[in-house]
Amino acid sequence: MDTFKLEQARSWILTAAAALEKNSALLCDLDAAIGDGDHGANMARGFSAVVKKMETNPPADIGALFKSVGMTLLSTVGGAAGPLYGGFFLELGKQTVGKQELDAAMLVSILEAGLADIKRRGKAELGDKTIVDALTPAIETMKGAGSDVAAATRAAAETARDAAVKTIPLLARKGRASYLGERSIGHQDPGATSTALLMESLAEVSAKA
């Protein structure tokens, strides 16, 4: 696949919503170990609101779609991850105003802008045991994977999944898990795991084109 179209962007969000719903208990369990146990419920609730909004108000271009996702996540998901993912999608929307399709290089560059927004808001760096630890290597992989969107997103999804597992030995330095200090070691980060699910959904819908 050479371009990522509005239809795929829409499917990405629907597929992600289903994946987050399906994995809600897993994400809550991961969060219960090093946080307050609400990450899965937060994400499932937010994406369910996003899907409803998309159905009642179908966006005309990719920018409008991502903007609506961002606004809805900001208004429905509390905690740390809500504003971070909300800001991420708002940034994706800013980068894609009026667009009907994106090539692989553009997809990489909008994800980079989204990651930069997460780092600006959350002040997390690589290795702090957060969303950043899954998203950063996934985007790096995508960058080196060439111009085929399906192949690039598949490679990125695999990297994100491995990267989420690699958060297990890390000491949390940001968010609620950081209050545990050394006791955060030995547990997989819930936010890195939800990012891996988002990347997996992106790869799935890109493969279908």
Is residue 152 at the binding interface for ligand ADP, with CB under 6 A as the rule?
Answer: no
Is residue 87 at the binding interface for ligand ADP, with CB under 6 A as the rule?
Answer: no
User: Residue 192 binds what, of ligand ADP, Mg ion, none (CB under 5 to 8 Å, by partner type)?
Assistant: ligand ADP
User: Residue 175 binds what, of Mg ion, ligand ADP, none (CB under 5 to 8 Å, by partner type)?
Assistant: ligand ADP
Q: Which is nearer to Mg ion, 31 or 200 (CB)?
A: 31
Q: Which of 143, 140, 136 is nearest to 122 (CA)?
A: 136
Is residue 38 at the binding interface for Mg ion, with CB under 5 A as the rule?
Answer: yes
Which residue among 13, 19, 31, 154 contacts ligand ADP (CB under 6 A)? Answer: 31
Q: Which is nearer to ligand ADP, 110 or 124 (CB)?
A: 124
Q: Which is nearer to ligand ADP, 34 or 107 (CB)?
A: 34
Give residue 83's Cα distance to chain centre. 12
Are 80 and 71 within 8 A, CB to CB?
A: no
User: Residue 70 binds what, of Mg ion, ligand ADP, none (CB under 5 to 8 Å, by partner type)?
Assistant: none
Q: In the window 97-116, what residues touch ligand ADP (CB under 6 A)? A: none
Is residue 131 at the binding interface for ligand ADP, with CB under 6 A as the rule?
Answer: yes
Is residue 31 at the binding interface for Mg ion, with CB under 5 A as the rule?
Answer: yes
Which residue among 59, 79, 83, 93 contacts ligand ADP (CB under 6 A)? Answer: 79
* C-alpha pair distances (Å), 202 with each of 24, 69, 97, 193: 18, 15, 20, 14
Is residue 59 at the binding interface for ligand ADP, with CB under 6 A as the rule?
Answer: no
Q: What are the residues binding ligand ADP (CB under 6 A)? A: 31, 35-36, 38-39, 42, 79-81, 84, 118, 122-124, 130-132, 174-176, 189-192
